[in-house]
Amino acid sequence: MKNKEKDNSKEKELLEKELKKSFFNLKFSKEIEGKFREYLYSQMKDFMQFSILLGIAIYFLFGLLDYVVYHDVYKTLFFYRYIIGGPPLILVSYLIMKSKTEKQIQILFTVSLIIAGLVIVAMMAFLNDPTQRYYAGLTIVMLYAYIAVGLRFRYTLFIGWSLIVIYFVLAFFVKRPDESFFISNFFSLIFFNLIGMISSFWYEKSQRKMFILSSLVELERKELREANKKLKELSITDHLTKLPNRRYFREFFSREWKIAARNESSVSAIMIDIDFFKRYNDALGHQRGDMVLRKVANALKSITRRGGDLVARYGGEEFIVILIGISSKAALKLAEKMRKSVEDLKIIHPDSSISKYITISLGVSTIVPANDIDCDDLVKAADEALYEAKRKGRNRVEKKEVKKA
């Protein structure tokens, strides 16, 4: 528990430190960055896979525009769009659908948009069109990169400026378009890119901030759950012996009694009392008495190892054991093992009338639950058997049948 609290505190400190970093910082520390990428992948995977399919559909549908605008050379444009650009885009799309990490899907999406941009530039190089109307296709690719996909800032930056450089090289050194169109288109792309950069940066910054805040909230919820769990454990656990307390015993016994009734399984109760415990406390003090309670509790617990069994502190020097699905004979045998295990601890008792060591007395009762029997009747019978064991000299096991109504 302490290690968990320490880890949570360390992680919380790291997250809060990230919030205080410069506004322009888009990278977390190594440990937090890895978790952010996992978070981003889980949040964006389905959306990005849908986006690539939509993007491919748009890319292929633009073949209709090729046919309408440049009908005389549409076959060549089809060759560029479908034969040159189609196969690699389909391959990249397939790889995106199969991607396993955030980095893979981001890189593959970047590659797909660069391919689409290169195909558009190649078509522009082929066309003898001084207006370079297909430059608008580059803005669509940039728009898709900056806004419609969810790429991180570094990838959108690479796509946007790469396409501008490619366009500049084509327009200035190859095609030599009308100067007014070139200047207008070039500056439009530049400013479109700058606006896209701001949008992409803000988007990733918001994602990172949201991740930090949601992580802090989750840590606080985790701490709250741990605190509630701890409080619950404290409320149902005896702080001295670490055994379940009487409150938990009541909840457990009531639940198991109903289950046993449905399954027609037997239930056994063993009431246990440390012999002359008050005398021990008076002789050696309460600290030594507490030590005895802990050792007896551990001895009793070591005997009952089945998942459905319960050993609880009933109060003072009394303990109770609930056993499900064993016979009366087996319950008596187990009670005798408990008696002997405590005696074998050889804890000196300076004022016992029956032994020089700490001993226990036990009362056992077993029954199959029925409509005319209450669970308290079983406890009462075991308590009466314990009283009988004390009356007959202590350090012994006695049994008693449950009285039916």
Residues marked as catalytic = 317
3 state DSSP class of 199:
helix
Query: What SS3 string covers 184-196?
Result: HHHHHHHHHHHHH
User: Phi then psi for 60, rounded to 5 degrees?
Assistant: -70, -35
- The count of other CB atoms within 10 Å of the CB of residue 356 is 11
3 state DSSP class of 313:
strand
Tokens of 121: 């530039």
Tokens of 379: 């406890």
Cα separation values, 199 from 46, 140, 186, 224, 399, Å:
22, 15, 20, 37, 81
Tokens of 273: 């009392």
Q: 348: Cβ–Cβ under 8 A, 6 or more apart, which residues?
A: 356, 357, 358
